[in-house]
Amino acid sequence: MTCEQAKPRMTDYWSLTLGEAEQKEFSAHLASCEACRSEVSRVGALWQSLDLLPLEEPSGKVRERFYEMLGAYRQGLASAETQPAKRWWTMPAWQMAAAAALLAVGLGAGYVARGNGQPPAEVSQLREEVASMRQLVALSLMQQQSASERLKGVSWSYQVEPSDTEVLNALVTTVNHDPNVNVRLAAVDALRPFTGSPATHLAARNAVVQALPKETAPIVQVALIDFLAELKERNAAPELRRLVSDPDIDSGVRKRAEWALERMQ
């Protein structure tokens, strides 16, 4: 390898993206070329120091504006889909016949709609899309690195259907594994709506029972105990008794566990 061939490979070398064969060739060249060796070390230090430049963060307005824009765009799409039918009505040759036909169709449709209680297909589709968007936002935010973003994700979970198992699973993961106490605490509260849905109530209840032995922060332990007492969840009784008899446990948590056991009887 010549110096000219080695130079464009330096950035790959610093980024550890050279292939095995190239790496060998490059190292062999460095071993025999003092000038390239010095350049790799000097410019490499500058390349690495770029990592230290502070990262700019966008303001919260960016997200707000994006979701407003997305909502407006989708509304526009929905109304654009209904427009061809309206134009058809305005054609003079069809106006009289269309008026009569529409009256008949309208009466018929009204009768049918009242009979089966189903919303129009477009409305159902729009609802599904909104639900899907809310689910996506909640799930994406809960995976963010920043605790405040994950907290926002937990708040978004209140806007999904309580039968949404994907969001429930994400909340359960948050309750069990999130390193931030405030996020875990918010996620415990966010599980409540899921205990009211036939599709998810069992999974949500079990998640609360299983989270209690793993939890170490007193404030979250108390929240879990309150939740279990509210649910009158008898499967939690052994863990509550363990907490009552554990001398190392926080006194506030112990008292709350005693109270919960009494309430369950």
Partner 1 sequence: MAEVSAGQVARLALLFERHHRALFRYFVSMSNHREQAEDLVQEVFFRMLRYRTSYDPAQSFTAWMYQIARNAGVDQVRKRSAVQVVDIDTYVDRRAELVSASAGPEESASRGQDLALLRRAMDQLPEDKREILVLSRFQGMKHEDIAEVLGCEVGTVKVRVYRAIRALEQIYFALEREKVS
Strands (E), the chain: none
How many residues bind partner 1 (CB under 8 A)? The answer is 40
Tokens of 25: 């060739």
- Tell me the closest approach of the beta carbon of residue 137 to partner 1, in angstroms: 5
- The Cα–Cα gap between 235 and 17 comes to 53
Residue number, 8 or 198, with CB nearest to partner 1: 8
70 near partner 1 (CB under 8 A): yes
DSSP assigned state of 197: S
- Tell me the closest approach of the beta carbon of residue 58 to partner 1, in angstroms: 4
Pick from 18, 36, 40, 137 the residue near partner 1 by CB under 8 A.
Answer: 137
- The Cα–Cα gap between 56 and 58 comes to 7
Pick from 8, 92, 115, 198 the residue near partner 1 by CB under 8 A.
Answer: 8
Touching partner 1, residues 16-45 (CB under 8 A): 42-43
**Residue 64, burial from CB neighbour count under 10 angstroms (0-12, 13-18, 19+):** exposed
- List the x/- string, 41-60, binding to partner 1 by CB under 8 A: -xx--xx-xx-xxxxxxxx-
Nearest Cα to 192, choosing from 226, 221, 166? 226
Q: What is the DSSP string of 152-189?
A: HHHHHGGGS-TT-HHHHHHHHHHHHH-S-HHHHHHHHH
Pick from 3, 7, 103, 108 the residue near partner 1 by CB under 8 A.
Answer: 7
Query: What residue ranges bind partner 1 (CB under 8 A)?
Result: 7-12, 42-43, 46-47, 49-50, 52-59, 61-63, 65-67, 69-70, 73-74, 77, 129-130, 132-133, 136-137, 140-141, 144
